[in-house]
Amino acid sequence: MSRQIKDIRNIGIIAHIDAGKTTVTERMLYYSNFVHKVGMVDQGTTVTDFDPEEQERGITIQAACVTFSWKNCRFNLIDTPGHVDFTAEVERSLRVLDGGVVVFSAREGVEAQSETVWRQADKYHVPRIAFINKMDREGADFYGTVDEIKKRLQAAPIVVTIPVGNGPPHFKDAFRGVIDLIKMRMLLFDAPAQGSVVTEHEIPEELADSAKEWRAKLLDDLSLYSDELTELILSEEEISEEMIRGTLRSAAISDMAVPVFCGTALDGIGVQPVMDGVCYYLPSPLDIPPVEGMDPTRPDEPELVRRADPNEPFSALLFKIQADKHGDLHYLRIYSGTIKTNSRVLNPRENKKENMPQLWIVQADRREQVAEASAGDIIGVIGLRCSITGDTLCDVKSPILLESITFPETVISMAIEPETSDEHKKLKAVLDMMKRQDPTFRAIENEETGQTLISGMGELHLEVIKHRLLREHKVNVRVHNPRVSYRESIQKPVEAEGMCQRVLGGKKHSAGVTLNIEPLVDANQALEIASECNDPRFLTQYKQIVLEAIREESQSGGLLGFPLINLRITLKSVVITEGETDETAFRVAVAEAFRKGLETAGVTLMEPIMKLEVATPEEYLGDIVGDLQQRRAVITQTLQRGSLKVLEAEAPLANLFGYTSAMRGLSQGRASSSMEPLAYGPAPPEILKSFMLD
């Protein structure tokens, strides 16, 4: 494999569920000779969907990394999930990737989760190319999907290949190949060789006008990014392939344009041009800005930078942990420097040194041990002890703290309880392992009831966790129905004082705090904590302790026991008594101030609101709308997508349990839906009243 940094491509395959991400990945592996037989999602034989849950359900649940070569490039590819319940896998993958291949279904176009992953890529400024897949399906609409990419995603798509034909094989003009608008040649893919043999042909006469039109549009779009190209177009001079590709590459890397390809991965048509497009148009680690971070020993100093250079001080981000009872595998993206087996590195968050006894190139469920790795690599490490997802690992002599990864809050919970005391110990160990692996999974034990409350991102997320407990880890537990993860806020601003005057263990503890607690409107789960106290003794000795106590108190629950959101909490003043004030006293004072403040301000119960998209044949539209209205849904938009009506709605999660089954029943199995967390909104008074009565 090439070790030149300029030839490395760290890319992710991202898309809505069922758009064909894993099939695209499988074809890439086959054409690069990484595998010698094409795996099938429906048969559970793909390389990246190796987990039994994935093979059984036919979906990707956890992001899988695989490394292979294509032409002169070395791909570090991560196949990500499409289901919204596992969006954290996409989040942490995009945090460390340099580019993305976004897959769209030509029949469904830009779907709800397509928009979500696109926004995630925007958040991390990840350049991407688009592959419009499933051109062999009835109702496939390449040009309509390109238009949706432009309108719904506010992107600038630049079409590089256009389809030859459209629809399934029994159609008269079935989809059978693509036209490369840069080479101006028709590419056909040999079916008996499963598309591995690509032949170039002259463009047929009946397609020549369309090809010339789209070639002219390609050049016109690119002229916005190159004065030299504009001059050549105006003077009607010949434009080289190298100039076109160079201009498109610079536009794509600067995140101003999105090269668009088409094909059908299942039939092996159009995938190799996408692989070439990754090499041509997506960045190497050298093409992205140097990573920035802060000096953990001097947080107020200017930011530090690390360039993608093997000779710079080592820095890496731990973005994923694959938990294992024989030793967790930690995935690292190396941004700078070189690391060797048995090296010592620093975790600046913990201010502890870690040993790295084993380095691995991860190939889905297989591993290849290596002696060293350097800037641009994505590797697995076994042997880390105190590092968690989002941590920085760096050179001991040149510390740097990189930006961590933020994950969405859980929206749904379920109670489980072990059958016996022996199972209780086993359950605790398994849940701890699951929490290390999945940052969006929560597990809190209630010592009074013996139950453990597990929380996740949706019904499927909890169902997968339940199956793993019962089947994979053989833990005998009783499982209770899922319930909504509510949050609390307050009705009005309030100022509250909390005092501690206690004698514990023969020692007097004394402290006081004054908190200003005010609601934030439309803050989307924000919790702002600030201090206006300038007492020198407080700043030097207690500031960190008190602010941490405020955060812990807000997360531990309000008057109803749910975490607090949409609040700004400001520490106004403190009371410090020499010899009597300590951490314990401040924590007691903060707890009392919270209790008084919440009682005075009044509770607002917040429930999770989901963004729901339903695609249905028109004859079932009325029934589906009626059902949604009964579920307290607000329909925000109705669209036409091909032959289907698409409803966009916002609805409380509490009313959407079992919705998929109900929707299928109303539409005789012909409608489909997807949902994702949108925000928290005030719950109806009757729900608040029921909690108050409890």
pLDDT (0 to 100) of residue 448: 55
Query: Can you give the CATH number for the domain in which 597 is found?
Result: 3.30.230.10
pLDDT digits over 377-408, tens only? Answer: 999 999 898 999 999 999 999 999 999 998 87
Angle between helices 205-222 and 227-234 (to 10 degrees): 130
Distance between CA 681 and CA 674 in Å, rounded?
20
pLDDT (0 to 100) of residue 365: 82
Query: Can you give the CATH number for the domain in which 616 is found?
Result: 3.30.70.240
Distance between CA 162 and CA 185 in Å, rounded?
11
CA-only gyration radius of the chain, Å:
28
What residues form DSSP beta bridges with 274? Answer: none
Distance between CA 446 and CA 417 in Å, rounded?
10
pLDDT digits over 133-175, tens only? Answer: 999 999 899 999 999 999 989 999 999 999 999 988 888 889 9
233 and 100 in a single domain? The answer is yes
* 3-state DSSP assignment of residue 296: coil
434 and 316 in a single domain? The answer is no
394 and 529 in a single domain? The answer is no
542 and 558 in a single domain? The answer is yes
CA dist list (Å): 591 to 446, 494, 512, 550, 574: 20, 15, 11, 8, 14
303 and 281 in a single domain? The answer is no
Query: Can you give the CATH number for the domain in which 463 is found?
Result: 3.30.70.870
Q: Which helix (H) or strand (E) holds 310?
A: none
pLDDT (0 to 100) of residue 353: 95
Phi, psi of 56 (to 5 degrees): -70, -40
Among the listed ranges 39-43, 52-56, 122-126, 435-439, which one has the minimum average pLDDT value? 52-56
pLDDT digits over 217-228, tens only? Answer: 999 999 999 999
* Per-residue confidence band for 694, with pLDDT thresholds at 50, 70 and 90: low
Buried/exposed code over 521-557 (b: 16+ C-beta within 10 A; e: otherwise): eebebebebebebeeeebeeebbebbbebbeebbeee
Q: How far is CA 96 from the centre of its chain?
A: 11
DSSP line for 613-673: EEEEEGGGHHHHHHHHHHTT-EEEEEEEETTEEEEEEEEEGGG-TTHHHHHHHHTTT--EE
Q: Which helix (H) or strand (E) holds 402?
A: strand 401-402
543 and 442 in a single domain? The answer is no
Q: Are 400 and 315 in contact (CB under 8 A)?
A: yes
**The model's pTM:** 0.79
Among the listed ranges 50-64, 77-91, 317-331, 573-587, which one has the minimum average pLDDT value? 50-64
DSSP line for 573-623: EEEE-TTT--HHHHHHHHHHHHHHHHHHH-EEEEEEEEEEEEEEEGGGHHH
283 and 355 in a single domain? The answer is no
pLDDT (0 to 100) of residue 267: 94
Q: What is the mean pLDDT of the chain?
A: 89
Query: Can you give the CATH number for the domain in which 384 is found?
Result: 2.40.30.10
Boundary-marking domain end, from 532, 567, 601: 601
Q: What is the DSSP letter of 267?
A: G
Per-residue pLDDT at 325 exceeds 70? no
pLDDT digits over 296-309, tens only? Answer: 888 777 789 999 99
Please state, for a pLDDT cut of 70, what percent of the chain lies above it: 98
Per-residue pLDDT at 507 exceeds 50? yes
Number of Cβ within a 10 Å radius of residue 191: 13
Instruction: Judge whether 231 lies within some domain.
Output: yes
Q: Are 64 and 79 in contact (CB under 8 A)?
A: yes
Q: Are 179 and 209 in contact (CB under 8 A)?
A: no
Q: What is the dihedral of CA 151, 153, 158, 160, to 10 degrees?
A: -110
Q: What is the average per-residue pLDDT within 359-371?
A: 90
Q: Which helix (H) or strand (E) holds 274?
A: helix 271-281
Q: In 3D, which of 492, 520, 689 has the Cα closest to residue 598?
A: 492
Instruction: Judge whether 96 lies within some domain.
Output: yes
Distance between CA 617 and CA 264 in Å, rounded?
24
Distance between CA 220 and CA 227 in Å, rounded?
12
Per-residue three-class SS string for 60-116: CCCCEEEEEEECCEEEEEEECCCCHHHHHHHHHHHHHCCEEEEEEECCCECCHHHHH
514 and 576 in a single domain? The answer is yes
pLDDT (0 to 100) of residue 460: 85
* Per-residue confidence band for 447, with pLDDT thresholds at 50, 70 and 90: low
94 and 216 in a single domain? The answer is yes
pLDDT (0 to 100) of residue 2: 39
272 and 149 in a single domain? The answer is yes
Residue type, 164: V
Distance between CA 591 and CA 593 in Å, rounded?
6
183 and 204 in a single domain? The answer is yes
* 3-state DSSP assignment of residue 54: helix
Instruction: Judge whether 52 lies within some domain.
Output: yes
Higher pLDDT, 658 or 442: 442
* Per-residue confidence band for 449, with pLDDT thresholds at 50, 70 and 90: low
* Per-residue confidence band for 450, with pLDDT thresholds at 50, 70 and 90: low
Which stretches within 183-270 are classed as H helix?
205-222, 227-234, 241-253
Q: Which helix (H) or strand (E) holds 381?
A: strand 378-382
Query: Can you give the CATH number for the domain in which 248 is found?
Result: 3.40.50.300
Q: 């609390």: which residue's tokens? A: 488
Host domain of residue 507: 489-601
Q: How far is CA 110 from the centre of its chain?
A: 18
Boundary-marking domain end, from 457, 483, 509: 483
- Say which residues have a Cβ less than 8 Å from residue 284's Cβ, sequence separation at least 6: 5, 6, 7, 8, 9, 98, 308, 376
92 and 160 in a single domain? The answer is yes
Q: What is the dihedral of CA 530, 531, 532, 537, to 10 degrees?
A: -170
Boundary-marking domain end, from 448, 483, 518: 483
Distance between CA 170 and CA 408 in Å, rounded?
45
Q: Are 681 and 659 in contact (CB under 8 A)?
A: no
Highest mean pLDDT among 230-244, 278-292, 458-472: 278-292
Q: Are 649 and 614 in contact (CB under 8 A)?
A: yes
* Per-residue confidence band for 197, with pLDDT thresholds at 50, 70 and 90: very high
Among the listed ranges 103-117, 516-530, 647-661, which one has the minimum average pLDDT value? 516-530
Q: How many domains does one find in the chain?
A: 5
Q: 């088409």: which residue's tokens? A: 262
Kindly give the pairing relationship between strand 343-347 and strand 177-180: unpaired
- The H helix count followed by the E strand count for the chain is 17, 37
Instruction: Judge whether 407 lies within some domain.
Output: no
Please state, for a pLDDT cut of 90, what percent of the chain lies above it: 54
